[in-house]
Structure 1
């Protein structure tokens, strides 16, 4: 509708209704035009469009909408290389398009492309901030869905799970009001499962992961089904249901080997190593973790940092300090540039342990690490490190302090369930 286009371009140009209406019509009349509530004269419409520098005529944009939908589905189905190439075609077709709803849809899908095809979440975040305010709040639920989903993705990469969760939940609500496909809902369910996993909310992880996997399986989207299996495995490991965790990883591994997906296979071996480590099967854990590093050797350091940390821990536990230090040094090389601040604390704690610096470890845990993980609501690490600090106090016969941190560890563990 021409009224929506007028509203969109007025906001894009930073004009108030008073500034646009001046000398043409009343502000209340312009407001009705923008809402589609007024039978406006052609003369008024032409004057408003002329001031905005747009044409009052609207084209048939069905072909462009189909192309945008095809582009979006490439990214939903993880065909990222294809989507990156298709972006050039989309940009060419968008030349001369003036419909605000189509322009907003393009800008939103372009944000998704910048994130998933080019791994540039900072640029996407800036673009989303510019889009904010251009999408009407009372309709266009599909655009609100995408806006909140993509903003949630940005906050996830900034390791702000609570902010990510807020926008994913809004996206879930907007999907229910829209006519979008089920697979779009499945992606949101998966993203919610990941976010609740970061917050160690195991039962809710299972709820959303199973909702997602039901749809992905029905759509034969095996890549995303494998991602769900991995999340279910992590949730089951957290509650020490190791047999079920290994079952889910085996299901994911069938996909990864069939489609020769080295990255997914590397993630699976990382999680198999983590399960073995949790069961104190250190040799088996090291074998799996080394396999994970090998499969993901071309990944960015941030993607394998967790594996480097686990490897350094496992070598420490079998008293191979030389290997442990080697893997710590590999991790520390990338800590300063890592977007995940958790690893500074993980590697620092292990460094104190290797050098048997108990006083330094006690102070770092109390003043730095535990408060940091409390602020991040990372209950698994709160539990682990609070128990470590409590053990230090217990060994020094400081039973009151030990009791305080044993209680903190126990309360954090309750939040995991």
Structure 2
């Protein structure tokens, strides 16, 4: 990055016009020439521009700066949040005074926020500011930039985008030197994202590669994370024995470290095995244990378990328990776009618990709200489940044209799942 690019970068980041930066230092046309690399300013003008922007034009090299931020990433990765917080403040309490430092500060601030809170306050803005400069997505900075973009897309449930960003980060692994644990974490994220896309083969491949690295480097809690993904994939293909094996190995780690949250995740997935086997009471018991273990966790950590328990109550016709659970949590989902999917699922089941079967009101809700939401997001898995419900309802009410339409749409949803690589047995 040349001098003019650095000046333009900080001028845009600090939201200054060329006139505001140039006033009293040089003319606007002259500043424009500097920023475009047409002319090299005198040392005196460089000093004045740097002072107004509160930056240094001579600074530590990029490798030295990256080293400090990778230390921060290492603490977060190891879930040593106390050390991570101290390191984070030591690196970010003072404003960045070089372009490299500013870019890395924004990237790693984004990673810190997402990995310690799984939330996104300000992350979009931080990464958008970084993307102003085209060559930010090169070299080591590029690896961390794409990793951060992948994490952000994952948290906002844009899983296809997440997968694309993470694969771009993987390509940069070969060009730059990265530690084994960094490779392991990237492979884990790719495996996790492939799992959310129901791409079982990719999920197994990348998660197994991550597990191999974590086992060789003795990061046991990360091993447990990988075994849970592997268990989910094997559960999806109804390989119950292999799924249970991975969960029991993960449970050994949870018990070793007395990790109640990890146990909650394991109970949830053991409940998933019971669900697939049709063992309703066992599934209810395991999902309930999972919620108890995750009692102090934020909503995002338990929403899937709540939904799984609601569905089991529906199958068992436990209407009062189902309604009570929905009413307990529904208010927390309202007007939060991140939970809109679950809000719609909950409202659908609330109709069923209340009326015992589908009514005109519940069908109208499905047609007007539930189905359009999932169609807009191309959520073929949910559509493949809900379309046949509508088809059956209209067939029962002798509205055969509408019934045929929804049965056909269900078939198309299954076909599109196959086209995008979704495999679900």
TM-score (norm 2): 0.83
TM-score (norm 1): 0.85
The DSSP-based 3-state class of the residue aligned with 1:299 is coil
Match of residue 144 from structure 2: 146
Q: Displacement of 1:281 after TM fit?
A: 0.9
1:346 is the counterpart of 2:319: no
Cα gap change, 1:234/1:142 in structure 2, threshold over 3 Å: closer, same or farther?
Answer: same
Q: Displacement of 1:158 after TM fit?
A: 2.2
Match of residue 215 from structure 1: 213
Match of residue 364 from structure 1: 365
1:11 is the counterpart of 2:12: no
The DSSP-based 3-state class of the residue aligned with 2:234 is helix
The DSSP-based 3-state class of the residue aligned with 2:184 is helix
* 1:107-153 deviation line (CA, Å, top 9, x unaligned): 321221222224441222222222221462574x2112212221222
Q: Displacement of 1:359 after TM fit?
A: 2.0
Cα gap change, 1:239/1:409 in structure 2, threshold over 3 Å: closer, same or farther?
Answer: farther
C-alpha RMSD over aligned residues? 3.2
The DSSP-based 3-state class of the residue aligned with 1:13 is helix
User: Which residues in structure 2 correspond to 1:272-283 (within 5 Å)?
Assistant: 272-283=270-281
Q: Displacement of 1:87 after TM fit?
A: 1.8
C-alpha separation in 2, matches of 1:150 and 1:312: 34
The DSSP-based 3-state class of the residue aligned with 2:42 is helix
Runs (4+) off by over 6 Å: 15-21, 23-30, 60-63
Q: Displacement of 1:273 after TM fit?
A: 1.2
The DSSP-based 3-state class of the residue aligned with 1:314 is helix
Cα gap change, 1:31/1:357 in structure 2, threshold over 3 Å: closer, same or farther?
Answer: closer
C-alpha separation in 2, matches of 1:137 and 1:4: 13
Match of residue 69 from structure 1: 70
Structure 1, 61-70 or 11-20: larger mean CA deviation: 11-20
**Cα pair 1:5 1:98 within 8 Å, conserved:** no
C-alpha separation in 1, matches of 2:2 and 2:34: 14
Q: Unpaired runs of 5+ in structure 1? A: 35-39
Higher relative contact order (CA 8 A, sep 6+): 1
Structure 1, 53-62 or 246-255: larger mean CA deviation: 53-62
The DSSP-based 3-state class of the residue aligned with 1:177 is coil
Cα gap change, 1:257/1:138 in structure 2, threshold over 3 Å: closer, same or farther?
Answer: closer
Cα gap change, 1:60/1:123 in structure 2, threshold over 3 Å: closer, same or farther?
Answer: closer
**Cα pair 1:5 1:100 within 8 Å, conserved:** no
* 1:166-192 deviation line (CA, Å, top 9, x unaligned): 322332333333322343233233222
Cα gap change, 1:360/1:55 in structure 2, threshold over 3 Å: closer, same or farther?
Answer: closer
User: Which residues in structure 2 correspond to 1:328-343 (within 5 Å)?
Assistant: 328-336=326-334, 338=336, 339-343=338-342
Q: Displacement of 1:296 after TM fit?
A: 0.4
Match of residue 382 from structure 1: 383
**Cα pair 2:7 2:35 within 8 Å, conserved:** no
Cα gap change, 1:235/1:412 in structure 2, threshold over 3 Å: closer, same or farther?
Answer: farther
C-alpha separation in 2, matches of 1:26 and 1:318: 72
C-alpha separation in 1, matches of 2:35 and 2:400: 73
Cα gap change, 1:45/1:211 in structure 2, threshold over 3 Å: closer, same or farther?
Answer: farther
Match of residue 111 from structure 2: 112
Structure 1, 319-328 or 226-235: larger mean CA deviation: 226-235
Match of residue 37 from structure 1: none
User: Which residues in structure 2 correspond to 1:36-51 (within 5 Å)?
Assistant: 44-51=42-49
Q: What is the aligned residue count?
A: 405
Q: Displacement of 1:258 after TM fit?
A: 1.4
Q: Unpaired runs of 5+ in structure 2? A: none
Q: Displacement of 1:311 after TM fit?
A: 1.5
Cα gap change, 1:411/1:216 in structure 2, threshold over 3 Å: closer, same or farther?
Answer: farther
